[in-house]
Amino acid sequence: MPPSTLLLLVAVLAKGCSAADSSGAEQIHLSFTDDVTTIQVTYSTFQPVKASARYGTDQPDTLNGVALPFIVNDTYNEMYDAVLHVGDFGYDMFNEEGEVGDTFMRQLQPVAAHLPYMTCPGNHEYHANFSNYKNRFSMPGGTEGTYYSFDMGPVHFISISTEFYYFLEYGFEQVFSQYNWLVSDLEAATDPSARAARPWIVLYGHRPMYCTNRDMDDCTRVHDRVRVGAPNHDPPIPGLEDLLMQYGVDLAVWGHEHSYERMWPLYNYRI
């Protein structure tokens, strides 16, 4: 394993591989599984194809967009080993009966078929209870990709759904399921033997607990739901900041706010 961690606003660590196809499969993307010795290949097809994969380093086609060609070039120069995409895909994947999502996934393939492409849901995936997200991405954990964890090198990565706190019309039980799972996951990750092997714990989710923008999103408010929960809800919904502090999470990566900023370690608005 490489000794260092690379970040792409996203992130990175183990040796990657690529999947290519000429049989009609498209939107190919890789992901880690619950078994650290395997990689999962997911793809879409509009005709019957034989399910097989070939690994190599084929060069990508020319792509549209400003940033993507640079990311593709970096990927094929082996600058990254995995990617974390922290919510909001394609703007929006469900539009035009999913064709916008198909186009996005085709454009993404030169990166996502070469590296494990690890995701979490954002607010733009809300339509039909996040059905496009759940059906397009195959993440570990058995929760339709909404929350899971995996180990890579010296890092324990945790992916969560911040959207459980905001789309309560889809049910609030998933908030409690995720919270209880997160407690168990952090307990295991901070066991002395586990922490010795993987001293870094990195969590990622779409909506941040803190931000300095003035757009009236929850992260501009002291009572941010992800941070402190919804104590007046019946039953009260627990927030996550106390939990992350208790178990010594080292780094949190967020999206949602359309600006870049990084902060000193914070707890309850104090450095």
Q: Which helix (H) or strand (E) holds 237?
A: strand 237-238
- Confidence at residue 37, expressed as pLDDT on a 0 to 100 scale: 79
| pTM metric for this prediction | 0.86
Identify whether the C-beta of residue 202 lies closer than 8 Å to the C-beta of residue 156: yes
Domains and CATH numbers, the chain: 136-254 (3.60.21.10)
Considering the chain, what is the average pLDDT of its residues?
87
Kindly report, residue by residue over 141-152, the tens digit of the pLDDT. Answer: 999 999 999 999
Reply yes or no on whether the pLDDT at 253 is more than 90: yes
pLDDT band for 53, please (50, 70, 90 cuts). Answer: low
Q: Residue 258 CA to chain centroid, in angstroms?
A: 17
Kindly report, residue by residue over 180-208, the tens digit of the pLDDT. Answer: 999 999 999 999 999 999 999 999 999 99
Tokens of 184: 């168990």
CA 194 – CA 183 distance, rounded (Å): 15
Q: Average pLDDT for residues 16-24, to the nearest whole number?
A: 51
Choose between 37 and 19: higher pLDDT: 37
CA 227 – CA 243 distance, rounded (Å): 10
Reply yes or no on whether the pLDDT at 122 is more than 60: yes
Q: In one letter, which amino acid is 63?
A: L
| Nearest CA among 205, 210, 236 for reference residue 223 | 210
